[in-house]
Chains A and B, each alone.
Chain A
Amino acid sequence: MNKIFEVPLYAYERSPDQDTATPVRHKVIVIGAGPIGLATAIDLAQQGVEVVVLDDNDKVSFGSRAICFSQRTLDIADRLGAGRQMLDKGVLWNVGKVYFDKREVYEFNLQPDEGYANPAFINLQQYYFEKAFVDRVRELQAEGASIEIRGRNKVEAIGTHDDHVKLEVETPEGPYNIEADWLIACDGANSPTRRMLGLDFEGRVFEDNFLIADVVMEADFPSERWFWFDPPFNRGQSALLHKQPDNVWRIDLQLGWDIDKEREQQPENVIPRLKAMLGDDVKFELEWVSIYTFQCRRMERFRYGRVLFAGDSAHQVSPFGARGANSGLQDADNLCWKLKMVIDGKSPELLLDSYNRERVQAADENIRMSTRSTDFITPKSDMSRLLRDAVLDLSEQYEFARPLVNSGRLSTPCTYVGSSLSSADALNGPDITQPGSACPDAPLGNDFLLPKLAGKFTLLTIDADAPEQIEEDGVEATRLALSVKDDPTLELKRRYLGNATSAVYLIRPDQHVAARRDSFEDNAFRQAIRRAIGKE
């Protein structure tokens, strides 16, 4: 049977654009049909923006690459109409075990608290993740949305202008030219767009190599994340075992810096390493093997006029913490509503600079977190190793040392503290919902909060009065009236009120908090809307 990453999902087809005398102008062109390009295109199409995705390939990600997808990613995917398929296919897990040498030093549980529609994490092969988005694109097309994926369309040259972008695209039937009002480069860590525009990508390379293998095996390991520091089967290095759907297991083995990559990738060298880890009697098959050197770096800016960068093209992190695709999804989430506002003439182009600021802030946070994890996992000095081993030794007996063990701080959404789109906090409420935060979910009887906040400005009132709708500068905010009584578990109160007895929140289309106070005040909320759309 063919694997889904071996079958063309968006095979090349000739486009009428290839037969016109003058280049056809599109609203938005997205380069790259990876997870971020697909999410971006779906988000725009759902808002009625015409979009074309160009990809030099015609299949989903080869091999699985990303496997851990976060709650925030699933929340966003729900808004994009693809979350259900991911969740249904994904493996649920929340227990992690940490081993040091031969001993299990401790165990953690990611999300003991309840009251979210989505789990803290699922494991899912990147190719399934992308497949769910491709299926969603097909669904939108069937509904008549203007969204198109052009396989084997390789962007070869880019010309930037004040109000549009020109592309030269290579296809199996020769090149053609095409134009767009806006270009979104989701063309991955080696971004040809970045290169063609001569833009920087600065950061740090970690001098180490990791063997990443996906193996198919019938094994009765539980669906937990097992992480080893300095295990007997990989002395002086680290290892990871994590379950994916279809009996596929992800194995990471740190190999060190001075290795022969070609040699280490050969099955005759990979298999003995895996046997040493799994035991001689476990039967397995290799699905995908690759060797990576990890880097943490980002572009100086994510917007250059009419060209916007999102996902790995804009920032790259080491995978400890699963902050790659997960943060890229948040880029798409942040960018698309803003672009729609600008395209509709409701916001000045300046609003797009807030995309740059907010997502650079997020990228820096992700880089910081994954750099620290990488430093802990692969100590680069004797003292760093000594301290690391001391933490691990202590962690077995003493709870206090466990928060210091860093085998990856798993992706959480960035809170845009100090964002120019947020209004000053005017509620004595919980930190997790301060302006700039991604709204946490909350149960509402048989329902959940987040689906009610999707894709538009919302005035969330909790035991407070407000008009059903306010309109400011052409932008509407619709009220969602709730009471703490709607949630007998009291999570809504815990997450949105804290010590306050009532609250009014202005929530952006990407479900981030723009403003909050204890009661509705017309002027304050009108001003908050203007700020949130880049007009103050």
Chain B
Amino acid sequence: MADLILTPNIENADDFYAGLLAAHDGLEKADSDALNARLVLVLANHIGDSNVLAQALDAAVLKDT
């Protein structure tokens, strides 16, 4: 079973984050939310593996805090 990667893995993380903010720049809240939703689905498709996706859902819920 593949494991969800929870150690740093994004190449040029600052560039990615700046790109993410830039994609949202100037959008109304509804459009921004929709962009995030589409992004989640695009990334989920790229991951594909259902075990990894299940772990990702768990991780995002932040159960322990």
- Which residues of A approach B to under 8 Å, CB–CB? 369, 372, 375-376, 381-384, 387, 391, 393-394, 396-400, 402-404, 406, 409
Contact = CB atoms under 8 A, between A and B. Distances in A.
B7 A383 contact: no
Interface residues of A, dominant DSSP: helix
A400 B14 contact: no
Nearest to B27: A383
A399 B17 contact: no
Contact of A381 (B5, B17, B24): B24
A400 B64 contact: no
A387 B19 CA distance: 12
A409 B18 CA distance: 14
A415 to B, nearest CB: 15
Nearest to A399: B7
Interface of B: 5-10, 13-14, 17-18, 20-21, 24-25, 27, 29, 32, 36, 59-60, 62, 64-65
B64 A404 contact: no
Given A399-B7, A400-B7, A409 B65 contact: no
Given A387-B17, A409-B14, 17 more contacts: A375-B21, A382-B29, A383-B21, A384-B24, A393-B62, A393-B65, A394-B62, A397-B59, A397-B64, A398-B6, A399-B6, A399-B8, A402-B8, A403-B13, A404-B10, A404-B13, A406-B14
Nearest to B36: A383
B65 A397 contact: yes
B11 to A, nearest CB: 11
Contacts of B5: 400
A404 B17 contact: yes
Contacts of A400: 5-10
A381 B5 CA distance: 29
A406 B14 CA distance: 8
A158 B10 CA distance: 51
Contacts of A372: 14, 17-18
Nearest to B32: A383
Q: Taking each of B17, B18, B24, B25, which has the highest tally of chain A beta carbons within 10 Å of its own beta carbon?
A: B17
